[in-house]
Amino acid sequence: MSDLTNKDAEQDSKLAVLESRVESFRERVISLEERMKEVPQMNELDSFASRIEKQNDDLKNRVRQLERWVWGAAAVIAVGAFVIGIAANAQEVKDDFNSLYTSTSLTDDFWNVSSRKQNINQ
């Protein structure tokens, strides 16, 4: 009978150890469940991610609009500079044209140049 009593006592001690472990695990599970309540749920994280994505898209659209505006302004400035350059050059071309064709003949220009060279040489 002593073997049976020893076996029974050994099993009781093992059972007590297992019961204490189960109780310890139960307390850990309860504390983890409470901690999980504090952590944001997945649907909250999804909504947060979608808000961030929407803000990112809005920012990209604003940058694209600004880029278009800058390119448009650059094109307007380029056209304005081109037109002003043409207008400024048009007066010079008109003056050159008038000076070439207002003389009576091309030979007059030739003789005037020749006479100037003679005056210089003397």
Residue range 56-92, pLDDT digits in tens: 999 999 999 999 999 999 999 999 999 998 888 877 7
Torsion of CA 30, 32, 37, 42, to 10 degrees: -140
What pLDDT sits at residue 106? 52
What residue spans define the domains of the chain? 2-108
- Overall pTM surpassing 0.85 (yes/no): no
Contact of 109 with 103, CB cutoff 8 Å:
yes
Residue 4's pLDDT band (cuts 50, 70, 90): confident
Torsion of CA 69, 71, 73, 79, to 10 degrees: -150
pLDDT digits (tens, 9 = 90+) for 26-49: 999 999 888 877 766 767 778 888
Which has more pLDDT, 95 or 76? Answer: 76
Distance CA 7, CA 15 (A): 12
Distance CA 92, CA 102 (A): 15
